Structure 1
Amino acid sequence: MENKTEKTKMKKANKTKTKARKTKEEDKDEEKGKEDKVEGNEDKDNKEGEEDKRRRTRQKTDEEDKDEEKTKMKNKTKNTKKTRQRRQRRRRQRRRRQRRRQGRRRQRRQIRRRRRQRRRQGRRRQEDRYEEEGKEDRRRRRRQRRRQGRRRQRRQIRRRRQRRQTKKKKTETKARKTKTKKTDTKKKAKKTDEEEEDRDEGKEDKEDRYGEDRYEEDRDEEDRDEEEEEEDKARKMETKKKAKTKMKKKTTTKKKEKTKKTKKKIQKTKTKSQMPSHEPPVCLRLTQSGRATRAGSSNRARDRSTRMKK
């Protein structure tokens, strides 16, 4: 048994020895290969030149230095006061813009809502009006609206013409005062006049946008409107005449009443003047008992007083 154990021990020892030898040989081979490589690289470097090598190293170092400086600057600028303030400012601006945007949206929504409500209310009112009124009233109203629109347009054209004339006058006076730049001012005035005339013509041409048929219809309506206006004028004249005759009648009746009153007054004054001066006035004549009465209340008392005086 002892022999067996010794034999196994010997075998193990031999194995370890061979392993160690192999590893040593491999290490040696590796070192040799490295040395060969280094020699080859050195030859290459010698061929390229030492200057290229130095340049490369310098570039590498410069790039590394730059990267380091950048990182340092970044780290520095991250926490400076100014950068913090800038960030805060931008944040506030962003929020402000956001709030404004939201406010505008809210306003638009409200405006749309109100418009919708107004339209609905208008439609309801129109429907009620249509139920109440007939077709002829609607037509009359439509004609009236168109008439008013045409009048408004004519008024605008008239005003524009007046403005143009005043402008022309002003420009002419300026040109008279300053002889220099006379032609320029006249040209400008002409241009403005032409532009305004073109605008007016464009606005007048807008009436033709519905086509010839619609234009003819509008013409017919205009004729109708003119007829209605003439009728209205005739009606107004008649009403005025009636009112005048009424006023005349009133004035004549008033004058007659006045004349009657004046006549009565004159008669009273005449009666007073006819009476003798020594007699008391009519309103203070005494009765039989000695009380004063109104004139003409008792003829007896008057007779008695006249008798007594005789």
Structure 2
Amino acid sequence: MRPGNLGAIVCVRLVGPATAVTDRVEVRSASTAELPPDEAALPSDGLQQAIALSGEWSVPLLLEPRDALAVYHTGLAGTSGLQVLVTELDTGALLAWVAAKATLPPLADAVPSQIDVGDLAVIGVSTKAARADHQHALPEPGVPAAVSKSAASAGASSAVARADHKHDVTTASPVAAAGTNSSEGVASTLARSDHVHRTEIEVRQAGVAAGSRPRLNFDGAVTVADNGPGDRVDVTVTAAVVTASSPSQIDVGDAASTGVSTEAARADHQHALPAPAAPANVTKAAASAGPARPSHAPITSTT
């Protein structure tokens, strides 16, 4: 069959059981102006489209004025047949057919719902269609939390993070480097890459802590020298020289004196103390301190 001057719309279906897998409907054309979009040349047999037949109505086939519809069906008399619907096209009929086949639901006038992080996909139940230029609200993200040494958390915010967002880092001044054991610490703040620790050295005397300071000052018989190659400071304590000289004599009336010697006295040294002479007789005369020594024996007075 061929359509009218404006063409036709055709639908075909089987009535009864199919009798051959070759049952089909074809659209053929002899017009080179009606080539399929993916064909470089018109097929030699003019075939434009082929659809297998079934008990369901075929998709609508549009026949241009120069097209022909070919239906292939091997049926048994009285058991199967074909139904063919043909609608000759004019402008009114075409618009009515399109309106009947392409009825759209009404457009929605409600504001679309907000999209939040963690929302599940939902098909929805509305019978209205969304407008092509509709837009869902997306919550404005807040300022991200500062990074600290704390437990990881997924968070509870429903807002998304911007791709160029930036976290602050919580920092604090480092503590003084003291103590004898390493410790991770308990602070939740982070250290800056150029932070500086105050270094304190604990000084003890005979096992008793005397204090902790960043610097030590040596005084007395010591020599201090910076040792760059050894990466240390050398402290040399000069041992005291024990004197080989006899200690000075102690006389009655000697004044106390620090001395000027740089040598140390031996622990078992002993100063000379002159033996006292016999004291003078006691007479009726003026008192005198005399050169007497405190170890002299008393003299009994005579008359």
Q: Which TM-score bucket, shorter chain as reference? A: under 0.3
What TM-score does the superposition give when structure 1 sets the normalisation length?
0.22
What TM-score does the superposition give when structure 2 sets the normalisation length?
0.22
